[in-house]
Amino acid sequence: NVQTPDPSTELAPYTAERLREVTAEGFTGPTPELLAPLRVLRVEEASEGGYNVVAAWKKQEAQLRPEGSLRRPFEGAAPPGAEGSELVVHTAQPPVLCTGFEGSVAAIGRDLFDLADDSGNGCLAGAPLLTAEDESTKTPGVFLVGPTVVQGELSFCFVYKFRQRFGIVADAISRGLGRDTKAAVQGLRQANMYMN
């Protein structure tokens, strides 16, 4: 229920509405149990069969609703556990996705980037440290594009957001090669494809 001006930090309106439907009183199908804020630590095969997803409770954020927000708060989430305590969820099927694992940069590009600590929220936790032009602060000439790009408090987790940073990287590389980029940058700005 934490709402921010950054849509990548919360559920899409369509998904939130579908959750409201399946958790509403009188719904007769299976009802999910919503647990947050958690960070998945590991997935283990259970001795009795199936899998155990082991997660740690994170600090509960204060409820935030930006002024003028038309989004309805979601009712029905389970109360959070004590910060740092672990929760084990058993499932008969292999988990498809468990958020909280290292991203590809942390896993295979660790030696090219300095990484932020894990104290940030969502995509901000453990993000690669970058210059204003999305260049590694550790390895000059190595640029990053994609969903792990973070600038300040803004994360570019989704394609419609991170594609707006491609022009910034292309501009930096082109200027480094001595090219005039003013007209190209102006065109990208007019098309809302240059987010700085």
pLDDT, tens digit (0-9, with 9 covering 90-100), for 118-150 = 665 556 667 889 999 999 999 999 998 888 888
At a CB cut-off of 8 Å and minimum separation 6, what does 175 contact?
181
Whether omega before 94 lies within 30 degrees of 0, making that bond cis, reads no
Residue 185 reports pLDDT greater than 70? yes
Closest CA to 80 of 46, 49, 57: 57
Q: What pLDDT was estimated at residue 25?
A: 86
Bigger pLDDT: 37 or 67?
37
Q: What's residue 153's pLDDT?
A: 76
Residue 181 exposed, middle or buried by CB count within 10 Å (0-12, 13-18, 19+): middle
What average pLDDT does this structure show over 99-125? 68
Q: In the prediction, which pLDDT does 54 show?
A: 93
Tell me the CA distances in angstroms from 39 to 57, 94, 102, 161, one per residue in order.
Answer: 7, 18, 11, 24
Q: What is the pTM of this model?
A: 0.52
pLDDT at position 36 over 60: yes
Chain center to CA of 58: 15
pLDDT at residue 65 in the model: 61
52-91 pLDDT, tens digit each: 999 999 887 766 565 656 566 666 667 788 999 999 999 9
